Amino acid sequence: MMLFALGLVLVASGALYLWKPAMFRRGLWMKTSIAIRSTSEEGYLKYMRGLGVLYIVIGLGLMAYGIYYWDDYGLDALF
């Protein structure tokens, strides 16, 4: 169940990165993030979209594995 929840969080954050890739390109993040400082606006947007796709793929894998693991051992193994 924990893997499924983690996968769900990764899919949600990946979808957010695809939907609004420039959400961290302001304020404190602008001064501290190496990716923001070292790339152009277009390069940063490509980087964030790629990261979003990666999060979604990893999240779906974790969700699939979590469902498989959960079905193998049942609900009794969780508690």
Phi and psi (nearest 5°) for 26? -160, 165
Is this model's pTM higher than 0.85 or not? no
Separation CA 44–CA 69 (nearest Å):
37
Separation CA 65–CA 8 (nearest Å):
12
pLDDT by position in tens, the chain (length 79): 788 889 999 999 999 989 988 776 665 556 666 766 777 878 888 888 999 999 999 999 998 888 877 655 555 555 4
Residue 79 has which token pair? 């508690």
Contact (CB, 8 A) for 52 and 14 = yes
Separation CA 73–CA 69 (nearest Å):
7
